[in-house]
Amino acid sequence: MKVCVVGTGYVGLTTGVSLAFLGHEVTCVDLDQHKVDMLRAGKCPIYEPGMEELLAEAAPNLSFTTSYDEGVPGADVVFVAVQTPSAEDGSPDLRYLRSAAESVARSLNHGFTVVVNKSTVPIGSGNWVDAILRESFAQREDRPAGVEFSVASNPEFLREGNAIADTLYPDRIVIGSDSPRSLEVLNRLYQPIINQTFTAPTFQPRPEDATAVPLVSTDLASAELIKYAANAFLALKISYVNEIGQLAAKVGADITEVARGMGLDQRIGSRFLQPGVGWGGSCFGKDTKALIATAAEYNHEMPIVKAARDVNQRQRAIAVERLQDELRILKGRKIGLLGLAFKPNTDDLRDSPALDIANLLLARGARVRLHDPIAGERFRHEQPELAPHLSESLDGVFDDCDAVVLVTEWAQYLELDWSKFVGLMRNPLVLDGRHALDGDRMRRLGYKYLAVAG
């Protein structure tokens, strides 16, 4: 089928490259010439394991352009995956989505096209995009005859750092539209994934337990709500284990054991019960906020989702409290933070716990040294105020340090030869913000080991 993807951020790029890999003819449109040039040269503008390999394999079916007219005409499906940053009042800023929809409407020129909202947008945005498309199309003087289109929602559940596996081997595919014809087109588009009929890429083999992928084919509003309801649930699962973790610390229980014992109940499930400094990233914070805001428009309160957000914020502060309890005075102390990205295997810094923790420590007069194996360069650009505190080397972090906090559980830190660094520290205190290190081993090596909860 012929596919156009507007926007080559995380979601758009993964969607475009994966669909091209599956054999569809895909054109990715992005207004950023620099990004388009990079992608044409086979380079990925974001750090995502496997993406460059997939780009190479998909290359025969894939092109990149800055022109809507090269992608939209004749497309069976147009995915709109542009950024929806938070506006000042916290609501998503939909101006890029509006202008993308207007551009799509200007370029449609024949046949039936499904326009799919891939950006995470507030519930109800499908209808809003539909209205913009119709209005912009009606305003065209060169309006061609025989153009038909309808809007669908196809929420994305991919995790950064795991984007390709999550796209090729998803738990489910959700499509929503009020037009049966659109649902049929999207069902056909995803057949190779639904029935797992494609040859798996060598670098991302099919998991042994992979089976046919369930398809949830529903109305527009339900598909839009599924995305928010699922993300908010995952977010509150993390906050729940963190809330229990704080109690575990008080009663002398081990939260890792508690989480394991809970997770083995299949009704609960073991994933997303990892305690620590809490969630970050582009989705959970934004989606929970947007869900509360949408609910407010309908005069509906969401106390559970609100509490999940509060607990998440509190975890960041608790990391600093733990250090203060141990060191008493934070002023003048040197504290190292290991990991700046919001999770391992990405260089994404959005809403990363490390940023809040660093700022809280600085506000208390501590000297901080920041380190990340991958995200350092991005950090320098995006966080100019914190950038002077970056350290290129681990020696620079540990040297004469009063405490080191593991904020992001990069493999490099977990596999570190910790014995080499203990002697460098003035005070060998390690605060494990992810419950990811082996506490007994750390103690044997001479560290004072603490975890954020437990």
CB atoms closer than 10 angstroms to residue 68 = 22
Residue 244, amino acid? I
Min dist. Cβ of residue 72 to ligand UDX (A): 26
Active site positions, annotated: 283
Q: Does 231 bind ligand UDX (CB under 6 A)?
A: yes
Q: Does 156 bind ligand UDX (CB under 6 A)?
A: yes
Residue among 118 and 371 whose Cβ is closer to ligand UDX = 118
Question: Which residues participate in the annotated binding site for substrate?
Answer: 157-160, 227, 272-276, 280, 343
Stretch near ligand UDX under the rule CB under 6 A, chosen from 56-64, 279-287, 375-383, 425-433: 279-287
Q: Does 47 bind ligand UDX (CB under 6 A)?
A: no
Question: Which residues participate in the annotated binding site for NAD(+)?
Answer: 30, 35, 84, 120, 160, 286, 350
Q: Does 276 bind ligand UDX (CB under 6 A)?
A: yes
CA-atom Rg of the chain in angstroms: 24
Q: What span, in angstroms and rounded, lies between the C-alpha atoms of 181 and 178?
A: 9
Q: Does 92 bind ligand UDX (CB under 6 A)?
A: no
Out of 30, 48, 76, 160, point to the residue binding ligand UDX (CB under 6 A): 160
Stretch near ligand UDX under the rule CB under 6 A, chosen from 158-166, 170-178, 295-303, 424-432: 158-166
Residue among 94 and 308 whose Cβ is closer to ligand UDX = 308
Q: Which two tokens stand for residue 395?
A: 């020696």
Q: Does 283 bind ligand UDX (CB under 6 A)?
A: yes
Out of 159, 206, 306, 367, point to the residue binding ligand UDX (CB under 6 A): 159
Q: Does 76 bind ligand UDX (CB under 6 A)?
A: no
Size of the site for ligand UDX (CB under 6 A): 20
Question: Which residues participate in the annotated binding site?
Answer: 30, 35, 84, 120, 157-160, 227, 272-276, 280, 286, 343, 350
> x/- string (CB under 6 A) for ligand UDX, residues 341-380?
-xx-------------------------------------
> x/- string (CB under 6 A) for ligand UDX, residues 255-274?
-----------------xxx
> Is residue 375 within 8 Å of residue 347, measured between CB atoms?
yes
Residue among 75 and 436 whose Cβ is closer to ligand UDX = 436
Q: Does 243 bind ligand UDX (CB under 6 A)?
A: no
Q: Does 279 bind ligand UDX (CB under 6 A)?
A: yes
Stretch near ligand UDX under the rule CB under 6 A, chosen from 62-70, 111-119, 154-162, 217-225: 154-162
Out of 281, 339, 428, 433, point to the residue binding ligand UDX (CB under 6 A): 281
Min dist. Cβ of residue 8 to ligand UDX (A): 17
Residue among 179 and 274 whose Cβ is closer to ligand UDX = 274
Which residues here bind ligand UDX, judged by CB under 6 A? Answer: 156-160, 231, 234, 238, 272-274, 276, 278-281, 283-284, 342-343
